[in-house]
A and B are shown apart, each in its own frame.
Chain A
Amino acid sequence: MEQQPLLKVTNLKTHFFTDDGVVPAVDGVSFTVNVGETLAIVGESGSGKSVTSTSILRLVPSPPGRIIDGSIIFEDTDLLGKTEDEMQRIRGDRISMIFQEPMTSLNPVHRVGEQIAEAYRLHRGMDKHEAMQRAVRMLERVGIPSPEKRAGDFPHQLSGGMRQRVMIAIALSCRPALLIADEPTTALDVTIQAQILDLMRKLQEESRTSILLITHDLGVVAEMADRVIVMYAGKVVEEGDVAAIFKNPLHPYTRGLLGSIPRLDWRRRTILPSIEGVVPNPLEFPTGCRFNPRCPDAGAKCRESEPALKEMTGSQKVACWLMERGC
């Protein structure tokens, strides 16, 4: 299958200049999202997944945050060169986003139908009546029963699963080329999560939207993603096709992460593999490889200098000195 890049992030650096020091939240991240594919970002809490996505949308709170380096090429132009006006036209139209907690991103005082209609009025210049008709149709598409009636509801009148459907309806209303979904199902129960993931897959098939999916749930990754990048302490440590990453993880962090989820077919009460130690403090990341204090195999070189992301077999890339020696 021919792969056509839609989004190309190169050497992105987003740092936070806080009173306590500089937090290099995203520190030289590069990746590509191709047309129609789902790229998942996984990694520890605080590894920079959300900041990567807010950087793409240029929604990093500033101060204290600033994008200090890199480029974000989307549909052949650099988003970092755009004005705020231009970005506003892109957000919710060509690129849209759904978050973990729909209650914080839906406006509590507006009816949900109006909130979807707003996107059509803003980006498509439709009048009130036409926009509302489209909104109701969109609610129907995301599987909300009696959509005409529900369009008149306020967010608090809906269940968590329905609110997330409304978020998806808003996000997909203008048929974006790229959907950024940051932990879209983390706050939901598994049976509702299954509904929402099913919906996202169906809508993606219909519209060939690319999805940048951020999640800490490796089960969700396995089910949804075509490719995966693994982040640790502001860096991409591994990248590859989903099958390759799960079958043959190369980075010790990826191996530890995959090893530490209890599988249903494991004998109960056996000791689980785990990654020892704690997540590093972003104000003082370790020198060398940032994973080295927790790495079971770290050597002198790992403590001294930082490994770059290098191509290994096929599509798989890894940033690890141990792998380089092996090759």
Chain B
Amino acid sequence: MSGALLEVKDVKKHFPIKRGLMSKNAGCIKAVDGVSFSVHKGETLGLVGESGCGKSTTGRLVLRLLEPTSGEVLFEDKNIYRLSFNQMRQLRRDMQIIFQDPYASLNPRLTVEDIIIEPLVIHGIGDSHSRRQRVKEMLDLVGLSSYHGSRYPHEFSGGQRQRIGIARALALNPKLIVCDEPVSALDVSIQSQVLNLLMQLQDMLKLTYIFIAHGLNVVKHVSDRVGVMYLGKIVEIADSEELYRNAMHPYSQALLSAVPVPDPEIKRERIILTGDVPSPANPPTGCRFHTRCPQCMDICRLEEPALRPVSDKYMVACHKYQ
């Protein structure tokens, strides 16, 4: 027993590149390329990093919405990739996902009530009376009224739709929720409503979150620990306040320094990276960040640094510290 609710061990997902019907061996996109971390019960692990670095793919692998190329995911000490179809179905009740786009992720032809009931029906939980009761509870929990139950998604604002998505995810009383960009599509003034709701529900229901987002401020605010990803790898993972105060990996440093500060009186020294993120189909040798790293050394071009602890709860993958 490790005490962790979730343990991810060296998980990889390589997508084959398809070029025409006949051609084989066109290579592959190493979307997630050896990621390990654990998440404790009741905690929030944030995942940050630039577009395409593999955050969503990681989230999907954790829930086995995607089959991995290799690696293990232990949920309550069981390797979920070894479970049969039926066992996995059982387990899905404990693991849910909330998506970025509240517009696309709700079936437009179902009423809100049917959207929230659907997972209960799929899992054969309760009878129609108790299901209806559950819908009322869920709507109440996310700050909507039962009057909203008979309406359709298009009749709601973005923030309200995200609440519906949350209500649906909570209906089965899950233990783990992957929140994949849950507020990115919302206005600033609505974002904080939804973030507050997610934090309150977590305390109330003892939920465990993996929280994926672009907004570094948002991730820091809700997370206990944060992992920084670059090209399919975690380059640094640590307590969120410590990481934001004192990032060690040159990529994390650049990423954090690039966030515009909403205060015109603060003029910050900024690390501006040159060049673009390399393709995950053909990542650089050695440390994947070496092509853009302002502190690159000879060894960085040759050898890939492992993610190693530098102190109690702080892990970083950089030759500077090894």
- Which residues of A come within 8 Å of B, CB atoms? 44-45, 145, 159-162, 189-195, 197-198, 216-223, 225, 242-243, 246-247, 256-258, 260-264, 266, 268-276, 278-279
A194 and B254 CA atoms in complex are apart in Å by 10
CB of A243 within 8 A of CB of B265, answer yes
Binding stretch for chain A, among B20-28, B56-64, B121-129, B216-224? B216-224
Residue from A220, A225, A260 whose CB has the most chain B CB atoms within 10 Å = A260
Q: Which residue of A lies closest to B239 (CB)?
A: A268
8 Å CB contacts to A: which residues of B173-204?
A: 187-193, 195-196, 199-200
Contact, CB under 8 Å: B50 / A262: no
- With A195-B273, A268-B220, A275-B189 as known contacts, state yes or no: A258 contacts B262, CB within 8 Å: yes
Q: Assess whether B221 is in contact with A45, with CB atoms less than 8 Å apart.
A: no
Within the complex, the shortest CB–CB distance from A12 to chain B, in Å, comes to: 23
Contact B192 A273 (CB under 8 A): yes
Q: A264 to chain B: which residues have CB within 8 Å?
A: 216-217, 220, 244, 259, 261
Write out the residue numbers on chain B whose beta carbons fall within 8 Å of the beta carbon of A256. Answer: 189
Interface size class of B (residues with CB under 8 A): 35 or more
Cross-chain pairs A/B with CB under 8 angstroms, 13 sampled: A191-B50, A191-B255, A194-B257, A194-B260, A219-B260, A243-B265, A246-B265, A263-B262, A264-B244, A268-B222, A272-B192, A273-B192, A278-B160
Complex: chain B residue closest to A223, CB-CB: B260
Q: CA of A276 to CA of B196 in the docked complex: distance in angstroms?
A: 12
In whole Å, how far is A62's beta carbon from the nearest beta carbon of chain B? 26
* Complex interface: chain A residues within 8 A of B258 (CB): 190-191, 193-194
Does residue B272 face the partner (Cβ distance < 8 Å to A)? yes
B312 within 8 A of A: no
Question: In the complex, what residues of B have CB within 8 A of residue A195's CB?
Answer: 272-274
- A65 → B minimal CB distance (Å): 22
Docked Cα-Cα span, A295 to B307, in Å, equals 49
Which residues of chain A have C-beta atoms less than 8 A from B191's C-beta? 260
Contact call B221/A272, Cβ cutoff below 8 A: yes
Beta-carbon contact of B241 and A268 below 8 Å: yes
B270 CB → nearest A CB, Å: 6
| Chain B, range 132-169, C-beta contacts under 8 Å to A | 157-160
Q: Which residues of A contact B192 (CB under 8 A)?
A: 260-262, 272-275
CB of B107 within 8 Å of the partner chain: no
A264 to B261, alpha carbons, bound, how many Å? 9
Check if A161 sits within 8 Å of B188, measured CB to CB.
Answer: no
